[in-house]
């Protein structure tokens, strides 16, 4: 299958084999070659404030325990007893210094060391050594509160994996003083469809907005969000910029500009942070580098992907889905899309809020995410789920399977953004599958490894 994708890439139109979206044989290979070899987002440090706090998450197709130890560090441990494979933690989160297996009582410290084996002196061979049976530990790196892990010994350090994307992550976090926290436990849901379908949608699919979300726009769920109404909606439009990296990561940023402009201004004299209180704009500007200000100012929407399966979105709503006096308020949601099988995906949603803003703002930001784009977001998210399920319903027939999918939107049509403040190749093209192509190029590279001889 990966071979087929590589062959077809030389054809016009960047076709993709449909088998990638419904075949469990492909998913098996993805688990071994894409997920196991990549860093994956597991959660956030603010979810584990105290020593002993733990969460149960998925790393590829393995259940793992993410635990904060007594020294404040994080361990990511296989959630399966070294004795007979029993799941150690059945709850999704809690606080424990030790994990005791429910079957025969083997007990592990929250850093993965096997510390207790019933009847060890009387009934185990003399050469049985507990330290040979510790829980497998994944490599873990906490970058600015984002907990990433990988099972791979060969994967480069996280910072290298993030590559150019790291600059964009820093810029998005530094926008609001750098300190963010997760608002409450994450939302989770199960959707129909392959994990890549929902993920590539976040990478750069501005194209679906006008069709998939036509009803949401007709109902005006974004209210006056375009530039806070300060310049008058009729005078403004959105310019989309795409950045796809060799590691498969993607950023798509939409900027508000005066109608008729085709390019971003090269300097920002009056920074505006759409969806954040005006009182903090000056403070926000002071906390950023001039390049970060240029990236964040007048940015109405930004979304993207951290390869392979994390995605993010930042956008604003106002009284259209709130109360009468609710101001335009931004929300930032990070998501992970974990395959359950080739045709079902578990989505986890974390809403991040800047620590420095008050509780009223945080609650409103969270409410706007919960009302529009949460797992139960009936005005917006459901139309995406509907389309992902419609893909799944029709993609796998005998004839359907023979027709490749197309990812050629904008191919060769984007133009470089001169002096763009961030690294990587940023290109202008509001509607383009540039970022999806970067995502699938990286995916194909990993899937093809070991098949080239």
Q: How far is the CB of 214 from other proteins (least distance, A)?
A: 4
Site track for other proteins across 381-400, x = CB under 8 A: xxx-xxx-xx--x-------
Three-state secondary-structure class, residue 420: coil
Report DSSP letters for 264-324, one per residue: --SS-SS---TTS-GGGHHHHHHTS-HHHHHHHTTEEEEEEEETTTEEEEEEEE-TTSS-T
Kindly state whether residue 211 participates in binding other proteins, applying the rule CB under 8 A: yes
Kindly state whether residue 92 participates in binding other proteins, applying the rule CB under 8 A: yes
Report DSSP letters for 325-393, one per residue: TPPPEEEEEEEEEEEEETTEEEEEEEEEEETTS-HHHHHHHHHHHHHHTSTT-TTTHHHHHHHHHHHHH
Kindly state whether residue 321 participates in binding other proteins, applying the rule CB under 8 A: yes
Please, what is the Cα angle at 351 between 350 and 352, to 5 degrees?
110
Kindly state whether residue 97 participates in binding other proteins, applying the rule CB under 8 A: no
Kindly state whether residue 205 participates in binding other proteins, applying the rule CB under 8 A: no
β-bridge partners, 335: 311, 349
Kindly state whether residue 132 participates in binding other proteins, applying the rule CB under 8 A: no
Q: Which of 359, 398, 412, 452 binds other proteins (CB under 8 A)?
A: 359
Q: How far is the CB of 383 from other proteins (least distance, A)?
A: 5
Q: Which of 161, 362, 434, 437 binds other proteins (CB under 8 A)?
A: 362
| Stretch of residues binding other proteins (CB under 8 A), selected from 41-49, 143-151, 248-256, 359-367 | 359-367
- Supply φ then ψ for residue 100, to 5 degrees: -110, 125
| Stretch of residues binding other proteins (CB under 8 A), selected from 9-17, 208-216, 249-257, 304-312 | 208-216
Kindly state whether residue 367 participates in binding other proteins, applying the rule CB under 8 A: yes
Kindly state whether residue 323 participates in binding other proteins, applying the rule CB under 8 A: yes
Kindly state whether residue 90 participates in binding other proteins, applying the rule CB under 8 A: yes
| Stretch of residues binding other proteins (CB under 8 A), selected from 103-111, 163-171, 187-195, 269-277 | 187-195
Q: What distances in angstroms separate CA 12 from CA 33, 204, 409, one per listed residue?
A: 27, 20, 11
Site track for other proteins across 217-236, x = CB under 8 A: -xx-x---------------
Q: Which of 46, 107, 141, 212 binds other proteins (CB under 8 A)?
A: 212
| Stretch of residues binding other proteins (CB under 8 A), selected from 43-51, 190-198, 262-270, 441-449 | 190-198
Q: How far is the CB of 87 from other proteins (least distance, A)?
A: 12
Decide: 205 and 403 in contact? Cβ < 8 Å: no
Q: What distances in angstroms separate CA 339 from CA 79, 239, 250, 283, 308, one per listed residue?
A: 18, 33, 20, 41, 11
Separation of alpha carbons 187 and 170, rounded Å: 24
Q: How far is the CB of 283 from other proteins (least distance, A)?
A: 19
Among 24, 91, 32, smallest CA distance to 60 is for: 32
Q: How far is the CB of 322 from other proteins (least distance, A)?
A: 7
| Stretch of residues binding other proteins (CB under 8 A), selected from 21-29, 100-108, 154-162, 371-379 | 371-379
Contacts of 319 (CB under 8 A, 6+ apart): 223, 325, 326
| Stretch of residues binding other proteins (CB under 8 A), selected from 257-265, 289-297, 376-384, 417-425 | 376-384
Decide: 39 and 27 in contact? Cβ < 8 Å: no
**How many other CB atoms sit within 10 Å of the CB of residue 385?**
17
Separation of alpha carbons 389 and 361, rounded Å: 34
Q: Which of 63, 152, 189, 430 binds other proteins (CB under 8 A)?
A: 189
Question: How many residues in the shown chain lie near other proteins by CB under 8 A?
Answer: 51
276-295 binders of other proteins (CB under 8 A): none
Instruction: Please tell me whether the peptide bond between 308 and the residue prior to it is cis, using omega within 30 degrees of 0.
Output: yes
| Stretch of residues binding other proteins (CB under 8 A), selected from 85-93, 259-267, 304-312, 438-446 | 85-93
- Beta-carbon-side half-sphere exposure of residue 421 (alpha carbons within 13 Å): 21
Interface ranges with other proteins (CB under 8 A): 90-94, 96, 183-192, 211-212, 214-215, 218-219, 221, 321-323, 346, 358-360, 362-363, 366-367, 370-371, 374-379, 381-383, 385-387, 389-390, 393
């Amino acid at each position: 299958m990966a071979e087929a994708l590589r062959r077809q890439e030389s054809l016009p139109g960047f076709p993709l084999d449909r088998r990638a979206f419904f075949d469990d044989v492909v998913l098996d290979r993805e688990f071994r070659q894409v997920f196991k070899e990549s860093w994956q987002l597991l959660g956030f440090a603010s979810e584990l404030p105290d020593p002993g706090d733990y969460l149960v998450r998925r790393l590829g197709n393995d259940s793992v325990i993410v635990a904060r130890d007594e020294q404040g560090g994080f361990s990511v441990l296989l959630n399966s007893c070294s004795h007979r494979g029993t799941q150690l933690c059945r709850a999704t989160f809690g606080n424990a210094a030790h994990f005791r297996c429910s079957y025969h009582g083997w007990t592990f410290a929250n850093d993965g060391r096997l510390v207790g084996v019933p009847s060890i002196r009387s009934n185990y061979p003399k050469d049985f050594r507990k330290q040979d049976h510790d829980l497998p530990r994944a490599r873990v790196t906490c970058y600015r509160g984002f907990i990433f892990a990988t099972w791979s010994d060969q994967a480069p350090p996280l910072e290298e994996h993030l590559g150019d994307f790291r600059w964009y992550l820093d810029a998005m976090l530094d926008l609001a003083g750098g300190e963010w926290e997760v608002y409450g436990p994450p939302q989770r849901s199960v959707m129909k469809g392959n994990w890549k379908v929902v993920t590539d949608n976040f990478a750069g699919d501005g194209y679906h907005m006008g069709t998939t979300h036509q009803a949401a726009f007709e109902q005006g769920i974004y209210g006056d969000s375009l530039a806070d109404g300060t310049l008058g909606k009729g005078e403004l439009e959105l310019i989309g910029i795409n950045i796809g990296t060799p590691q498969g990561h993607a950023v798509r940023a939409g900027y508000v500009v005066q109608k008729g402009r085709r390019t971003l201004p090269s300097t920002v004299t009056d920074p505006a942070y759409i969806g954040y209180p005006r009182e903090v704009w000056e403070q926000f500007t002071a906390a950023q580098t001039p390049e970060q200000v240029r990236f964040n100012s007048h940015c109405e929407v930004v979304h993207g992907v951290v390869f392979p399966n994390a995605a993010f979105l930042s956008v604003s709503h106002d009284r259209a889905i709130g109360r009468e006096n609710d101001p335009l308020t931004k929300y930032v949601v990070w998501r992970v899309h974990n395959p359950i099988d080739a045709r079902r995906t578990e989505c986890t949603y974390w809403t991040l809020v800047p620590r420095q803003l008050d509780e009223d703002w945080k609650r409103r930001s969270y409410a706007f995410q919960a009302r529009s784009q949460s797992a139960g977001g009936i005005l917006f998210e459901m139309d995406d789920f509907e389309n992902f399920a419609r893909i799944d319903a029709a993609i796998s027939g005998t004839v359907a399977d023979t027709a490749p999918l197309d990812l050629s939107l904008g191919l060769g049509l984007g133009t470089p953004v001169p002096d763009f403040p961030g690294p990587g190749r940023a290109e202008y093209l509001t509607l383009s599958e540039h970022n999806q192509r970067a995502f699938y190029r990286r995916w194909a590279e990993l899937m093809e490894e070991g098949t080239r001889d």
